[in-house]
Amino acid sequence: MSAAPTLNPAPAAPDAQAPLLVADDLSRHYRVSRGLFQPQATVRALNGVSFTLQRGRTLGVVGESGCGKSTLARALTLVEAPTAGRLQIAGTEVTTADAARRRWLRTQVQMVFQNPYGSLNPRKRIAQMLDEPLKLNTPLTAAERQERVLRMLETVGLRAEHAQRYPHMFSGGQRQRIAIARALMLSPPLLVADEPTSALDVSVQAQILNLLRDLQRERQLGYVFISHNLGVIEHLADEVMVMYLGRVVERAPKAALFARPLHPYSQVLWAAVPRLDGARRVVAPAADLTPPSALRSEPPSPLNLPPGCAFHQRCPLADARCRAELPALRPAGAAGQWVACHRVEEG
């Protein structure tokens, strides 16, 4: 029997102070058909996204459906190659890496999916699912792999006897713990979590979020945490990135963004968060602008984006410049916020 394949040799250990993840003008475009006898159109699902993430930190990504959150997740986990831009993981450039290096890079970033009912193979025992990445990527013996599987189950709050059970024998929260365990089997420094608690009951959500925080503290993990739930983002994130139709419209430290969102779209999202007393959250306006209380109409079609700011058709603060000129992401204020809005820039 041939020996199990080993991981491709890793590059030299990066500086501990260096960013774990760097995205620079990252884009992902798709060519789609408009119908019979119609020319193809381009959907810019991800359009010039830039950010950095340090070890032990969490970047929260928020926005409406169709804003590019899941496309970003697929690009970061190397499921899809970016159309343009640069991406570095653990100090290694992804876009120029050869096949061997990309295989190693895939062990450095793992994903936790939204639906624990669909992300686990119903025909495999838990021990088999957790053992598989070790069997494919490490030279460990069967006994060593089994020991690591049992240790990981304990790490995520499950017992050794759970290893021989099938996914249907677990609750939703337990299945998500198993999914987290599977993602951590190769000890990656980076996890991308795409709505990992949205399919769970509220009480179970809190347990999973606390587990993720404990694991981050113990292992200095970096998280890219995608969610539509601002309460979850407020609980877990260090920095927040607000996306709209493939672009970043605001990026800021969590405390600054939750205290005073600047972009009109961010203000609408934050104002819509319900409070326990039933009142709406009061949002401080940017400069002398009055925050909009509700969005106008539906977002434009990604097949036919309007000129200028893509948000201008829904924004009650839009003026002629907004309708003609695409705003760049610029520093705003003294709290480390970056905003893509002409009105904030003028204010």
Tens digit of each residue's pLDDT (9 = 90 or more) over 67-126: 999 999 999 999 999 999 999 999 999 989 999 999 999 999 999 988 888 889 999 999
Domain match, 126 and 30 both: yes
**pTM (2 d.p.):** 0.89
- 28 has pLDDT over 90: yes
Q: How far apart are CA 57 and CA 8, in angstroms?
A: 27
44-60 pLDDT, tens digit each: 999 999 999 999 999 99
> In terms of C-beta density within 10 A (0-12 exposed, 13-18 middle, 19 or more buried), how is residue 276 classed?
exposed
Same domain, 224 and 279: no
Count of structural domains, the chain: 2
Let me know whether 30 and 129 are in one domain.
Answer: yes
Split at pLDDT 50, 70, 90, the class of 139 is very high
Domain boundary among 202, 237, 272: 237
- Same domain membership, residue 338 and residue 286: yes
**Whether residue 266 is found in the same domain as residue 209:** no
The CATH number that applies at residue 227 is 3.40.50.300
Do the domain assignments include residue 36?
yes
On the question of pLDDT at 4 being above 80, the answer is: no
**What mean pLDDT, rounded, does the chain reach?**
87
Bridge pairing between strands 190-194 and 222-226: parallel
| Residue 271 belongs to some domain of the structure | yes
Q: How far apart are CA 130 and CA 186, in angstroms?
A: 10
Question: Is residue 203 a part of any domain in this protein?
Answer: yes
Mind listing the pLDDT tens digit for each residue in 268-289? 888 877 655 544 554 544 444 4
Q: Give yes or no: residues 60 and 128 share one domain.
A: yes
User: Residue 346 corresponds to which amino acid?
Assistant: E
Residue ranges making up the domain that contains 329: 261-346
Q: Could you say which of 204, 237, 270 is where a domain stops? A: 237
First to last CA, the chain: 70
Residue 247 lies in a domain: no
Is residue 32 domain-shared with residue 164, that is, in the same domain? Answer: yes
Q: Does any domain span residue 8?
A: no
Look at residue 301 in the predicted model and tell me its pLDDT: 85
